[in-house]
Structure 1
Amino acid sequence: MEFLNEYSGLFSLLAVVASVVAIVVPVVIFNKQKKEQEKYYYKQKKDQEYFYLKQQQDHLQDLQDEYEAIESTSMFPMSLAEREYYSRKNYLKNKLGR
């Protein structure tokens, strides 16, 4: 009993430190997980934006390639199939803003 009375202050100090650690550690872990989650969502959003931008650029490049292929052929004489061909050419020209 004497031992407990002598070190009771130390035991209470250790109990206080343990309770503070029990509160602080989960908060630190939560903040760390929150930062990692935000970083993951930011990266995912950036990757998605890059994917859509790349997809749009690929589509415009396909339209431009098709337009250049159509432009390299002569316009005369014009049959029904060629009219469809040149109407597509004009559509692509307008779509590309030329």
Structure 2
Amino acid sequence: MQPTKELLSEELLQTAKFAKALGHPIRLAILELLNSQACCFHGDMAEILPVAKSTLSQHLKELKNAGLIQGNITSPTIKYCINRENFDLAKKLLSSALN
């Protein structure tokens, strides 16, 4: 039987959204990098992580859409940092789901 939307709480839906965003090792590496410092520029991450800039941009977009990171555009660069509120929520929800 397929679960219906009515059976899925907002908490479960949010947990799944975070889990999907965390479903790639490069995205985990991005979060690890950003969590180890206040912020990081896109160009700096491209030099550190083993992916093309365009691929990095796609991963950053997924993390941003999930609300785990936020970016500030200071033309011509974009500075990213952890969205602490959602990052802490993701840790709580994922921990709860796995217990």
Q: Same fold by TM-score, threshold 0.5 exceeded?
A: no
Which one has the largest radius of gyration? 1
**Relative contact order higher in (CA < 8 Å, ≥ 6 apart):** 2
TM-score under structure 2 length normalisation: 0.31
